[in-house]
Structure 1
Amino acid sequence: MNAKRLFFIALGFALLLLFYFMPEFKPAVDPMGKEFPLSQAGKAAIGLFLLAGVWWVFEVIPIGVTSIAIGVFQPLFGIRAAKDAMKDFMDPTVMFILGSLLVGLAFTKAGITKRIAYKMLSLVGEDTRKILLGVFVITSLLTHVMAHTAVAATMFPIMMAILALYGEGNKPTNFGKAMFIGMAYTAGAGSIATLMGGARNPAAVGFFKEFTGQDVSFIAFSQHLLPVAWVSVVLIWLMLITILKPEKTRINGIREKARSLYAELGPMSRQELLVLLLVAGALSVLILQSFIPALKSIDRSIPLLVAGLLFFILEILTVQDLEKSIPWNIVLLFSGAMSIGFALWQTGAAEWIAVNFISLLQGSHWLIFVIGIAILVGLLTNFIMNVAAISIVLPVALVIAKYLGVNPELVLYSSVAMAGMPFLLLIGAAPNAIAYESKQFSTGEFFKFGIPGTLLILAVLLVFMFTYWPLVGLSPLAK
Structure 2
Amino acid sequence: MTAILRSRNFQLCLALLLGAVVMMLPRPEGTRFKVSGDRNQLFYHTISSQYSMVPGDKTGTGSYVVESKYPTGSTYSGSYLKEKAGSFEGTDVQVEYVNGLSPKAKRFLAVLAVLVFLFMVEPIPLEITAILIGVFLVVMQVVDVKTAWAPYMHPVVVFIMCCLIFAIALDKAGITKRLGHFIVTKAGTSVTKFTFIISIGLGLASSFMHDAAAVSIGIVTMLPLMRAAGIEPHSRTAKFMMISLAFACSCGGMGTLVGGGRTMVSAAFLKEFTGIEITFMDWIKYAMPMAIVTVPAAVGVVYLVFRPDPSLKLPKLDEEIGPWSFQEKITVLIISISFILWLTKGFHGLHYSVTGMLGVAALILTGILKWDDIHENLEWGTALFIFGGGISLGLAMGHSGAAAYFANLFFPLVKGGGWLLLFAGVAVFGALVTNAMANVAAAALILPIVIPMAQLEGVDPTVLALCLGTATSFAMLLVIGCPPNAIAYSFKYFKASDITRVGLVATPVLLILLISVAAVWWKILGLV
TM-score (norm 2): 0.82
Conserved 8 A contact 1:330-1:434: yes
Conserved 8 A contact 2:289-2:517: no
CA shift, 1:344, in A, is 1.6
**Given the alignment of the two structures, is residue 398 of structure 1 paired with residue 451 of structure 2, yes or no?**
yes
Partner of 2:463: 410
Q: Secondary structure at the match of 2:257?
A: coil
CA shift, 1:322, in A, is 3.4
**Given the alignment of the two structures, is residue 203 of structure 1 paired with residue 265 of structure 2, yes or no?**
yes
**Given the alignment of the two structures, is residue 56 of structure 1 paired with residue 56 of structure 2, yes or no?**
no
Flag the 1:10–1:362 CA change in 2: closer, same or farther, 3 A. farther
CA shift, 1:29, in A, is 6.5
Partner of 2:42: none
CA distance in 1, matches of 2:337, 2:398: 35
CA shift, 1:26, in A, is 2.1
**Given the alignment of the two structures, is residue 258 of structure 1 paired with residue 317 of structure 2, yes or no?**
yes
CA distance in 2, matches of 1:131, 1:210: 43
Match of 2:57 among 32, 43, 53: 32
Partner of 2:239: 177
Conserved 8 A contact 1:119-1:258: no
Partner of 2:357: 305
CA distance in 2, matches of 1:169, 1:181: 14
Partner of 1:421: 474
One-letter amino acid of the counterpart of residue 443, structure 2: I
CA distance in 1, matches of 2:313, 2:20: 52
Conserved 8 A contact 1:71-1:86: yes
Identical positions, percent: 26
CA distance in 1, matches of 2:463, 2:413: 19
CA distance in 2, matches of 1:39, 1:243: 40
Partner of 1:248: 310
CA shift, 1:62, in A, is 0.6
CA shift, 1:461, in A, is 2.2
Higher relative contact order (CA 8 A, sep 6+): 1
**Given the alignment of the two structures, is residue 279 of structure 1 paired with residue 338 of structure 2, yes or no?**
no
CA shift, 1:401, in A, is 1.9
Conserved 8 A contact 1:190-1:233: yes
Partner of 1:98: 161
Q: Secondary structure at the match of 2:454?
A: helix
Flag the 1:84–1:240 CA change in 2: closer, same or farther, 3 A. closer
One-letter amino acid of the counterpart of residue 258, structure 1: L
Partner of 1:122: 185
One-letter amino acid of the counterpart of residue 57, structure 2: M
Residues 43-62 of structure 1: per-residue CA shift (max 9 Å, x gap): 22222122111111111111
Mean alpha-carbon deviation: is it higher for 421-430 or for 342-351?
342-351
CA shift, 1:157, in A, is 0.4
CA distance in 2, matches of 1:24, 1:429: 30
Q: Which runs of 4+ in 1 moved over 4 A?
A: 18-24, 27-31
CA shift, 1:41, in A, is 2.9
Q: How many residues align?
A: 464
CA shift, 1:23, in A, is 5.9
Residues 120-167 of structure 1: per-residue CA shift (max 9 Å, x gap): 1112323333212211222123212111111111221001123134x2
Residues 224-276 of structure 1: per-residue CA shift (max 9 Å, x gap): 21111111122223323333222127737x4xx3241xx2x432222222221
Conserved 8 A contact 1:93-1:301: yes
One-letter amino acid of the counterpart of residue 328, structure 2: E
Conserved 8 A contact 1:20-1:40: no
**Given the alignment of the two structures, is residue 450 of structure 1 paired with residue 503 of structure 2, yes or no?**
yes
One-letter amino acid of the counterpart of residue 223, structure 2: M
CA distance in 1, matches of 2:525, 2:246: 30
Q: Secondary structure at the match of 2:209?
A: coil
CA distance in 2, matches of 1:32, 1:15: 37
**Given the alignment of the two structures, is residue 150 of structure 1 paired with residue 223 of structure 2, yes or no?**
no
CA distance in 1, matches of 2:11, 2:407: 27
RMSD, aligned CA: 2.4
CA shift, 1:22, in A, is 5.7
CA shift, 1:425, in A, is 1.0
Conserved 8 A contact 2:234-2:495: no
Equivalences for residues 317-332 of structure 1 within 5 A = 317-331=369-383, 332=385
Unaligned runs of 5+ in 2: 35-55, 59-64, 67-95
Q: Secondary structure at the match of 2:414?
A: coil
Conserved 8 A contact 2:294-2:514: no
Unaligned runs of 5+ in 1: none
**Given the alignment of the two structures, is residue 431 of structure 1 paired with residue 484 of structure 2, yes or no?**
yes
Q: Secondary structure at the match of 1:144?
A: helix
Match of 1:218 among 270, 275, 280: 280
CA distance in 1, matches of 2:327, 2:4: 49
CA distance in 1, matches of 2:126, 2:327: 35
Structure with higher Rg: it is 2
Partner of 2:76: none
Partner of 2:12: 9
Partner of 1:462: 515
CA distance in 2, matches of 1:89, 1:465: 36
Q: Secondary structure at the match of 2:255?
A: coil
CA distance in 2, matches of 1:303, 1:174: 38
One-letter amino acid of the counterpart of residue 456, structure 1: V
Residues 373-392 of structure 1: per-residue CA shift (max 9 Å, x gap): 11110011111111111111
TM-score (norm 1): 0.90
Partner of 1:289: 345
Conserved 8 A contact 2:263-2:470: no
Partner of 2:107: 44
Partner of 2:293: 231
Conserved 8 A contact 1:86-1:339: yes
